[in-house]
Structure 1
């Protein structure tokens, strides 16, 4: 019973780390990746569709992305979605492809993005701690109901604390990597 609770908590903590990793991928650094377009939705035949499902991305230079829509009729919609997004780029359309040149990040903008990354990391840590709290409550309930002994409960809490520390450390490591990416010129 306690093992099931621990397993469920670890799965949820793993998901929290995955969400943090995705959030960090959406924060742009000096070099552009297609992941920065992850939250851009295109109105494609009336349905909001992620741009990654409608186009391929080519990165010829660190700050330039060439977007090639699979369906040429969606070129205007993709361009409009990229322009209206919060990426801060003005895409240019030559009839078959869309070029997006990202401006160089200023020092102030880099520091702002580091703050955003720290906020995302803290959200992930809080999520992991909440998962820990819920799992600890469940373990306490199991012990209180007599379904497991106190020794098992203490062992379960110790394992839960170790898992919590391990996942928080993963988030901290992801943050450290992202900060170094952001602050390197």
Structure 2
């Protein structure tokens, strides 16, 4: 794996970690809370955002308006069965999700969950580093590159690893701040 490929893959890992953070609720309504919810639509799991328009009319409410009214009960069931932890309210044409304020215990749990997602992202970056290091060392062993070139590439790789690990730590600190704001 070349350095450019490694950097691209590390960037994608940071983006995936950011998407995982977006699924953690912070006490404010955010449509990305429902990103992981899938609805069993005609026998196949379909992402909720493909079946409905999701709005945030205020800071504590999510409004889900299905494109097809016949999917209303399916969407309601999917939200109830998901790990979102919110109870849907169906009024016949839209589904409302009221987001209650977070308790201090729940905030602590969410901070731990965010830390877990961040650690998974860091592990992913370290795995990319390991694979790239193996590739560089194999090139050196096969005399495709010199020892100096190998050392330079390994140094650049370590700097990339540090850069993207720091990005994840920065995103985590921001998310923890969002979760902790009362």
TM-score by length of 2: 0.97
Q: Please, what is the CA RMSD of the aligned residues? A: 0.9
Are 2:92 and 1:95 aligned? yes
Q: Which residue of 2 aligns with 1:77?
A: 74
Tell me, yes or no, if structure 1 residue 67 matches structure 2 residue 64. Answer: yes
Structure 1 stretches (4+) deviating beyond 4 angstroms? none
Alignment partner, residue 135 of structure 1: 132
What CA distance in whole angstroms lies between the structure 1 residues aligned with 2:91 and 2:54? 15
Q: Deviations over 1:115-145 (max 9, x none)?
A: 0000110111111011101101110110111
Unaligned runs of 5+ in 2: none
Between the aligned partners of 2:73 and 2:125, the Cα distance in structure 1 is: 42
Maintained 8 Å contact 1:59/1:66:
yes
Cα separation, 2, equivalents of 1:158 and 1:89: 47
CA distance in 2, matches of 1:151, 1:113: 46
Aligned length: 182
Question: Aligned partners of 1:143, 1:58: CA distance in 2, in Å?
Answer: 55
- The alpha carbon displacement at 1:165 in A equals 0.6
Give how far 1:13 is off: 0.8
In structure 2, what is the Cα distance between the partners aligned to 1:55 and 1:172? 34
- What TM-score, normalized by structure 1, do the two folds share? 0.96
